[in-house]
Structure 1
Amino acid sequence: MSKVKYYYDSETLSYRRIEQKKGRKFGFAILGVLGAFLAGFVLLLIYLNIPQLETPKEKAYKRELDNMKLQYELMNKQLKKDHAVLAEIAERDDNIYRLYFGAPPIPGEVRGAGYGGVNRYKGYEGYDNSEMIIESQKQIDKLTKQIAIQSISLDEIKNLAEQKEELLSTIPAIQPIQNSNLKRMASGYGWRSDPFTKARKFHYGMDFSAATGTPIYASGNGTVTRADANSSGYGKHIRIDHGFNYVSLYAHLSKYNVKKGQKVKRGDVIGYVGSTGRSVAPHLHYEIFKDGERINPRNFYYGSLTSEEFNEMLKASSLINETLD
């Protein structure tokens, strides 16, 4: 209850009550409202301009969003790995399996084609992270389509394989050095450091480090076309013509177990590891030719390696190291 105030009136010699003017009361009320509004506005500006001030609900949303972004990043990394594995399968399919059976390679535009026509990703548009989500979905769709194409190709290869048993027996298909005798995969196909000049040089085969005298096996049926040391750098080496425009080469041998013109079968011992020719240590340098061109031998071991051994061989052969020849 507000206090009542009085003043002394000298004319009437009595106390009179002080009456407040209504306009003044209204003015104070307006000032109070304006002050409260101004204070609220200032606090709102401060809140909006200080990002670290977040409500618990906003913090929860932010954590959820950060987790979603992390999951998408991990998924995209896995998709890239899956694409790399599928690309490796496609390379072997086009350059080995389909060539084995005279089937034309699948065109790159077919393997890499996406989905045309209607916008399949319209439902993902309009969000803060739409671009990331759409790109991930595109990669999934592309991978799905490529897997379907590869599956159809493998079905075709299976049908052709049933008709060409003879061809399969001739194509190089095993590792020329047994894993039990292998010290290590010294170097693979690709750009490597030359052991003599230390310069980068393209290495056209695979080097298998093994002790002198380790048996070397023919990787497929065929006819020995060379068993001599008359090719620069190779030292004592053997070449086998497998037919169908495939030739395998085995270099730096210590001695031969076959001679020119001899017919051999896959798994026959044709020679022994050495370090003849341009070599810095005992090893086998192995090459494969198709239509006169040297190609990567790593895709020609399906007949002798388990999937785990093949994966280990891929890792070792891809290392950028120094060759032994």
Structure 2
Amino acid sequence: MKIALVSDAWYPQVNGVVRTLQAVRQELRRKGHRVYMITPDRFMTVPCPTYPEIRLAIGGQTKVAHMLDRLGPDAVHVATEGPLGYAARRWCVRRRFPFTTAYHTNFPEYIELRTGIPEDWLFEVVRRFHAPAAGVLVATPTLQSQLARRGFRNLRLWTRGVDVSRFRPDLRTDLGYPGPVMLYVGRVAVEKNLEAFLEVDRPGTKLVVGDGPAMTDLQRRYPEVRFLGVRQGEDLARIYASSDVFVFPSKTDTFGLVMLEALASGIPVAAYRVPGPLDVVGPGGFGTEAVRADGPVGVLDDDLGAAIDGALALDRRACRPYAEGYSWSNCADLFLRHLALTGRSGSVSVAA
């Protein structure tokens, strides 16, 4: 199958969307499919307002249409609601070409936090973006239910995976910090609710891996925290495995791929009792009953400090088997099944 994957999120960005698309692309190619990426690195870009680290493509309407015309894809998947996503959506709608989209990020909530624009207004804009899609791929049952209540249609479950060959407990070493070591990995931005973690008063060392617009301010306000910047590859895997608990303070993430990376590394998760953590490590997760029998792999609590205390007391040996229940191969197979449902002869309900 010839698949066009369109995304406004791509390298050098480092986030769950980019890691997911890269892993799925690799799996699809391994399975014999031809995958063509339409991403910002092929266009002129400008900084995203309030988040200059993210570059947005400009002048993409005509160029994206020409790319898709030349490619003649069997399937089009639009991963993001950005300029390139809108350009690909327009191409598909005008040609009545069935396509899928994905709801990776709670942009309405993020934008409200940054600008004060009510999220209800923004959800209507995002709903209209996804309305013509033959399938809207979502990561968890909780998110599926939430979006259905907001009028989204054609929602399809598409879970995530983790590279268990890269993230491993046997990489554990002494990082040289007083323990317990409490780790956060992700964007350093207001929507990640990172302050809730940094405000927790517990002995030990807090590590923050990542970068973002809130970095300078948080470094100034929390000098006792170790801000390690962006880490990748085995360096990142070693930090995961060498920590004692992974803290996930976000209340807006749709999934939280970093939680799976932590579990594959053999460390339990502490998080709020909210969508994302509830689906990944809580009773609503995708793990099999056999995996669950190994014991809990995280603690969710409305008090993040209590969640950290509880997670530190868990048996780390349960974490790795749980993470092994997720694979990128299964993730890619699900993706393909949703693409196959659209078919080139399917119909598209036009919603401008």
TM-score (norm 1): 0.23
The structure whose residues are more often strand, as a share, is 1
State the structure with bigger RCO (CA 8 A, min sep 6), 1 or 2.
Answer: 2
Normalising by the residue count of structure 2, what TM-score does the alignment of the two structures yield? 0.22
